[in-house]
Structure 1
Amino acid sequence: MSGVKQKAEPGTLYVVATPLGNLRDITLRALDILESVDIIAAEDTRTTLKLLNAYQIKGPKLVPYHEHNEKEKASLLIEKLLAGQSVALVSEAGTPGISDPGAYLIRLAHEKGLKVRPVPGPSAISTALGVSGLNLKNGFIFLGFLPSKRGERQKLLQQLKNEKRPFLCYEAPHRLKAMLKDALKILGPRRIFVAREMTKKFEEYFWTDLPSLLEKVKDNNPRGEFTLIIEGAPEKLTRQINPEERLRVFLNQGLSLKEAVKLVAEETDISRKEIYPLALKIRDSLLKKP
């Protein structure tokens, strides 16, 4: 691809990634687009203005575009795009449309047949995963911000209890303690990777476990935005156990069919529904023995 300076094309929506904290993390192409578009739709105009001033960019009209005015402003921006103007969508930090406003506008632009172009760059997801050292060959799960309501949050964590892949989430400082309490209660003492204030002055990255992190923050007020990666459920060594052999042992010991099935399910992580027919077959074979 050419390294020539790029100018925004008419009637195009650009989804522009901006720095997480350090303003030097902006890409050259992002600067080209921000300088040449007609309109910049910004989640936080104050933050975006600091970025523009740092690189002496003047001219594009700044339009507030956040969760409270998203649908109203989206219609206005679509009108501008259809009229041939170019628009850059930026969030407060990172890549728009990922746990930030933007997805609605992007979807609407696609529906109207408008050109939507990415201008890739910083992302909290890839940044945190990249410095975690996790082996991601089997993938990971991204949860965004966990539900603020305790019941909904606990329900989600319960659904993830047996998930083997690591899961990543964002958390606000004022909700961190409550989230960690729920996670420890439901998931147990898992290891957790903490990325806080990424690329900013007081950034920190470290591995710990849920009990230790909860202990660390319980008596103080944590600051900054947190990106957390919780390890998936540990592989049980007992998964190597042959369920048929274990059922025979338990049934020979005089345990009831129900008790034997329950124990083997706990040892192997195989559902009782799957084990029950095998248990019936083994019990019948044992009863036929002289």
Structure 2
Amino acid sequence: MTETPDPASGPGTLWLVGTPIGNLGDLTPRAIEVLAGAELVCCEDTRRTGKLLQHAGIRANRLAVANDHTEYHRISDVLDVLGSGGDVAVVTDAGMPGVSDPGERLVRAAIDAGHSVSAVPGPDAVTTALVISGLPTDRFAFEGFLPRSGRDRSARLLGLAEESRTVVLYEAPHRIERTLADLAETCGGDRRVAVCRELTKLYEEVVRGTLDTIEIGEPRGEYVIVLGGAVVDDTPPDDDTIRAALRDELASGSSKRDAIAAVSKRLNLPKKQVYALAITE
């Protein structure tokens, strides 16, 4: 088994450090070790991270803001520290950096410059919500925050309507009701869903049901939506369905050859099977 880098020795490493999503007791000893030894700690909010460090008994060497607006401009500082052999720790307000939070651009810049990048695993809202949702966990997709409006939002919602895997989404309190309504309209009210809030905190709450029956009460706090996958009909199409599809293709002007190819692809059937029915039409 390959050993992970030691934060106390070797060349500078960029560390992605998972921090608590609510309960400060979830900060791991290894995270404390890396944060204490880092020459630079990049964070979204110095006040919030400062409180976390104070709770852990850490006096940071240097704190710098790397949020959605400043991450790109922080790259040169990070590379300077790494280039001089110092470690840089990246944290976000909660959870794992780079997952719907800043960090991805710093990682790419460090890798491109030839520096070591590693992570201290920690709490994250994605898997926490997933495993307590009661929905299938063997295959899932993470969508983060949906676009707020327009064509991009509509396209993502349509994609979710056809997604057979469990889907995890983030949402803000002032948009949660609208997003649940949009999901019900696009995906159907019978889709199973779990809505989680205040994860790992004293008033943690998980509401489970279907999109057309779920009641979340007054919106408060940040939300994680876990949406059940669409039910996939694995029943193979019968001959009448195949013939109807062929007639539709032919009526639209396709040649018999093109119609066979199109129906075979659409219904995921062997061309020989479709051809045998086409010649009897």
TM-score range, shorter chain: 0.7 to 0.9
Which residue of 2 is the match for residue 173 of structure 1?
173
Deviation digits for residues 168-213 of structure 1 (CA, Å, limit 9, x no counterpart): 1111111112212221111001111111111122211231111223
Determine if the alignment matches structure 1 residue 231 to structure 2 residue 228.
yes
The CA RMSD over aligned residues, in Å, is 3.0
The residue identity in structure 1 corresponding to 2:169 is C
For residues 153 and 59 of structure 1, the distance between their equivalents in structure 2, rounded to whole angstroms, comes to 41
Name the counterpart of 2:254: none
Does the aligned pair in 1 maintain the 2:144–2:170 contact within 8 Å?
yes
Quick one: structure 1 residues 258 and 27, their matched pair in 2 at CA, closer, same or farther if it must change by over 3 Å? same
Q: Could you say which residue in structure 2 is the equivalent of 1:60?
A: 61
- Paired residue for 1:285? 280
Question: Could you tell me the TM-score, scaled by structure 2's length?
Answer: 0.83
Counterpart position of 1:243: 238
Shift of 1:103: 0.3
Tell me the equivalent position of 1:258: 248
SS at match of 1:161: helix
Q: Could you tell me which residue of structure 2 aligns to residue 122 of structure 1?
A: 123
Contact 1:183/1:210, CA 8 A, preserved across alignment? yes
Judged with a 3 Å threshold, the aligned counterparts in structure 2 of structure 1 residues 277 and 186 are, in CA distance, closer, same or farther, namely farther
Q: Percent identity?
A: 37
- Would the alpha carbon gap of residues 150 and 172 (structure 1) be closer, same or farther in structure 2, given more than 3 Å must change? farther
Q: In the TM superposition, what is the alpha-carbon distance from 1:56 to its structure 2 partner? A: 1.5
Structure 2 vs 1, CA of residues 199 and 109 (structure 1 numbering), >3 Å: closer, same or farther? same
Q: What is the alpha-carbon distance in structure 2 between the residues aligned to residue 35 and residue 64 of structure 1?
A: 17
Q: What is the correspondence of 1:209-228 to structure 2 with a 5 Å cutoff? A: 209-213=210-214, 216=216, 220=218, 222-228=219-225
Where 1:227 maps in the other structure, the secondary structure is strand
Residue 203 to residue 9, structure 1, CA distance change in 2 (3 Å): farther
Counterpart mapping for 1:12-31 below 5 A? 12-31=13-32
Corresponding letter in the other structure for 1:229: V
- Contact persistence 1:9–1:86 (CA under 8 A): no
Is the 2:18–2:94 contact (alpha carbons within 8 Å) kept by the matching residues of 1?
A: yes
Most deviating of 94-103 and 122-131? 122-131
Instruction: Tell me which amino acid in the other structure corresponds to 1:132.
Output: S
Query: Would you say the 8 A contact 2:53–2:60 is kept in 1?
Result: no
Map of 1:107 onto structure 2: 108
Q: In the alignment, residue 235 of structure 2 is paired with which amino acid?
A: Q
Q: Distance in 2 between matches of 1:211 and 1:62?
A: 46
Question: Which residue of 1 is the match for residue 262 of structure 2?
Answer: none
* Shift, 1:31, TM fit: 0.6
Structure 1: state its 5+ residue gaps: 262-269
Cα distance per residue 1:68-111 (max 9 Å; x no partner): 11111122211121122211100100100110001000110000
Q: CA offsets, 1:14-44, max 9 Å, x none?
A: 1100000100001110011111111111112
Task: Give the letter for the 2:247 counterpart.
Answer: L
Three-state SS of the structure 2 residue aligned to 1:40 is strand
Displacement of 1:280 in angstroms is 7.0
For 1:26 and 1:42, the matched residues in 2 are separated by 15
Aligned partners of 1:18 and 1:93 also within 8 Å = yes
State the partner residue of 1:266: none
* 1:264 corresponding residue in structure 2: none
Write the distance in 2 (CA, Å) between the matches of 1:277 and 1:177.
49
Q: Which residue of 1 aligns with 2:255?
A: none
CA 1:31/1:66 → structure 2, altered by over 3 Å: closer, same or farther? same
Shift in alpha-carbon separation, 1:216–1:17, aligned structure 2, 3 A: closer
CA 241–112 in structure 1, closer or farther in 2 if over 3 Å, else same: closer
Specify the alignment match of 1:265 in structure 2. none
Which of 257, 262, 271 aligns to 2:266? It is: 271
**Aligned pairs (5 A) from 1:174-193:** 174-189=174-189, 190-193=191-194
Q: What code does the residue aligned with 2:20 have?
A: P
How far, CA to CA, are the matches of 2:90 and 2:7 in structure 1?
17
1:6/1:29 contact within 8 Å kept: no
Distance (Å, rounded) in 2 between the aligned partners of 1:226 and 1:128: 10
Name whichever structure is richer in helix by fraction.
1
Give unpaired runs (5+ residues) of structure 2.
252-264
| C-alpha distance in 2 between matches for 1:8 and 1:23 | 28
Query: TM-score scaled to structure 1, two decimals?
Result: 0.81
Given residue 192 of structure 2, which amino acid in structure 1 is its aligned partner? Answer: R
